[in-house]
Amino acid sequence: MNVNDLVNQFKSAALSVGEYLTPVLRESKFRETGVLTPEEFVAAGDHLVHLCPTWSWSDASDPSRVRDYLPMDKQFLISRRVPCHHRCSQMSYNESLQKIIREEGSVDGDEWVDTHHFDTQTNLAPKELDDEVGVELANTECYGGKGEADESGEEGEAFDLDEYIGSGGLEGEDPHRYVAKPRKNGPERAERCDEVGILRTRTYDLHITYDKYYQVPRFWLVGYDEDGTPLTVDQMKDDFSQDHKDRTITLETHPHVANLSLATIHPCHHASVMKHLIEQFLENGRELNVLDYLFIFLKFVQAVIPTVEYDYTRSIRF
């Protein structure tokens, strides 16, 4: 355990007390400060689940883990078996694609590095839709339908159903069961995969919770190797951006699942980064609806885990 891990654990212990004492935010301030009320978090989560069925709501593992300011059946969001084909060390970073996001009044070292900000292939964000409830899911890019080109002439990338099924996206599992058992004959199976040239892919379960203290969504993840064996923290760091893996990502206890510790992106800068991105929309003559909050949130989280392929939305320009 390095010094950063010790510091982060101390902060987490102190913040758990602060969260208990912090009142629930009731007034919307997302445009002014980048934070969300619990009601806005649920509305944005419903919108994400509606457009991207790879995400779903989950309840808490036991009554002691329930937060009464959230619906019983909507305690947190989860996406299972998300593929991760490459390690960050295999990626060649291009500094011309990076953007340093600085906060107002920040000091050196408090910047957020968006490693693929100017990359049109990975700069992903929400699809613009009207308010009609009867949206055809089969035509949404997240769902995997072909969809129609929007007014700007952009088309969504085709969804590979075989890859989705192969990643386990359609497997029905108990939402509270997270520890996967290794498959039998793991070494033999791995050797066979190498012989026939099959790509051995890691997968991740991704969670989004609401952090009452920081009043923002919080991102959690746990990884598995190609045999379904949970990855260690050091192994998962291979899939984290070098700029963030020791300063931004910590191992902490899940707020809604008993006896479960996951890697999490610390939320201390989330509100300021979201405020900055919202301001970019306004400067370009657009307005960000609170329902799209989680899409933008997932866009900047991708700077931390660029090889985890969870975001299937179309490009957007700030």
DSSP string, 220-277: EEEEE-TTSPBPPHHHHGGGS-TTTTTTTEEEEE-SSSTT-EEEEE-GGGHHHHHHHH
Known catalytic residue: 142? no
Average pLDDT across the chain, whole number: 75
pLDDT exceeds 60 at position 60: yes
User: Residue by residue, what is the 3-state secondary structure of 187-198?
Assistant: HHHHHHHHHHCC
Identify which has the larger pLDDT, 203 or 87: 203
Residue 144 above 50 pLDDT? no
| Least confident span in 129-143, 235-249, 268-282 | 129-143
Whether pLDDT at 39 is above 60: yes
Task: For residue 149, tell me if it sits in a domain.
Answer: no
Instruction: Determine, yes or no, domain membership for 318.
Output: no
- pLDDT band, very low/low/confident/very high, at 248 (cuts 50, 70, 90): confident
pLDDT interval class at 267 (50, 70, 90): very high
Domain that holds residue 231: 3-121+162-301
175 part of a folded domain: yes
Does residue 250 sit within a domain?
yes
- Flag whether pLDDT at 155 surpasses 80: no
Does 190 fall in a domain? Answer: yes
- Please check whether residue 195 lies inside any domain of the structure: yes
On whether the pTM is more than 0.85, the answer is no
130 found inside a domain: no
Query: What is the tally of structural domains in the chain?
Result: 1
Q: What are phi and psi of 253, to 5 degrees?
A: -75, 135
Domain presence at residue 85: yes
pLDDT-derived band at 247 (thresholds 50, 70, 90) equals confident
pLDDT at 50 over 50: yes
Active-site annotation holder among 84, 88, 193, 268: 268
* Greatest Cα-to-Cα distance within the chain, rounded to the nearest angstrom: 59
